Amino acid sequence: MNEPKRPDFWKPLLGALGGAIVLWALWGLLGVRLVAEYWAWVKPDIVGTVDMAVLGQTGDLFGGINSLFAAFAFAGVALAAFYQYETWKLQVEETQMARAEHIQQSFEPLFFKLLERFESVNEQARRAFDRNWEYVVNQGYRAYRSTGAENDPLGSEPRREVLAAFVEVYEEAHSTFGPYFRSLYQIFKFISNSKLTQDQKILYANIARSNLSEVEVTMLGFNCLTGLGKDFVRYIEAYGLLKHLKHRDASEIFRSYYSPAAFLSSRRRLEYWRTEGKAHKPHFLIDRQQKNK
């Protein structure tokens, strides 16, 4: 963690006060006398010999110097208050940085433990995916074209036909499919519900996404279009889980049902949410600092 630079405000403050004192002393010792002697030389018939009375009158004439010193004093107080404010801001930043580091250190062990467990218990589901995914995509794409789902993606009947092959496969292997999707859902839910920053959440979601093959992502995409996986849709779109999907038919189907954010890189998703998708940015990706603004 980078250490914030602390403001060294005593030097300029002491310099300002020292300068004011020196000016005050020089004026009292030399300034009044020099002014009086100058006027005595210019107007000898009026001023006469320089004595303490003349110096006193001249000093009274320029008594406004006290206002100058008062201004210096005010500047010194203002300078001190400014640097005190800067010091307070640095303290707040240090506290926030320490808190963020603590949150991340608390998050990481459990996150990687969840990933490790996910990898170890879902090999059977992956084998089932490999056996069935081409059938699911081919049948789904055929229904997507023949039922008019491409023109009416919100229609319930065409959508049901597109998902029929996946539902068939899921029901035959629900004892392996169900735990797989639930375990994966808990990983992304854990990331999203954490107190990490937006960038940190995207980073850890990318790490989790990197453990998924294209076959797994394809089956995940179909699962989330059913009622069983509807809660996962927000995470697919928030973290761009379909970005690396290369299968043309599956990609065409999913683009009718998912937000464009599901297919974009992290940088382009953020740009999308700043422009046309502004109203659709997931609430769990809005930093707490932004919420308080």
Alpha-carbon distance of 82 to 65, in angstroms, equals 26
Same domain, 74 and 126: no
Q: Is there a domain that residue 40 lies in?
A: yes
Q: Is there a domain that residue 73 lies in?
A: yes
Q: Is the pLDDT of residue 94 over 70?
A: yes
| pLDDT for the residue 210 | 92
| pLDDT for the residue 164 | 95
Q: How confident is the model at residue 150 (pLDDT cuts 50, 70, 90)?
A: confident
Q: Is there a domain that residue 276 lies in?
A: yes
At 218-241, the pLDDT tens digits run: 999 999 999 888 999 999 999 999
At 171-222, the pLDDT tens digits run: 999 999 999 999 999 999 999 999 899 999 999 999 999 999 999 999 999 9
Domain count, the chain: 2
Q: How confident is the model at residue 36 (pLDDT cuts 50, 70, 90)?
A: low
Same domain, 137 and 280: yes
| pLDDT for the residue 293 | 44
Alpha-carbon distance of 224 to 149, in angstroms, equals 17
| pLDDT for the residue 71 | 65
Q: Is there a domain that residue 1 lies in?
A: no
Same domain, 186 and 282: yes
Same domain, 134 and 275: yes
Q: Is there a domain that residue 4 lies in?
A: no
Residue 132: which domain range? 122-291
Instruction: Compute and round to an integer the Cα radius of gyration of the chain.
Output: 37
Same domain, 181 and 142: yes
Q: Is there a domain that residue 202 lies in?
A: yes
Q: Is there a domain that residue 126 lies in?
A: yes
Of 201, 174, 221, the residue nearest 283 (C-alpha): 201
Dihedral sign from CA coordinates of 125, 137, 219, 230: negative
Alpha-carbon distance of 147 to 260, in angstroms, equals 23
> Which residue has better confidence, 230 or 60?
230
Domain endpoint, select from 78, 95, 112: 95
Of 161, 167, 162, 184, the residue nearest 223 (C-alpha): 167
Consecutive H or E run containing 167:
helix 156-172
Token pair of 231, please?
Answer: 């809660």
Same domain, 217 and 134: yes
Q: Is there a domain that residue 107 lies in?
A: no
The region that residue 58 occupies, defined by phi over 0 for left and psi between -120 and 50 for alpha, beta otherwise, is alpha
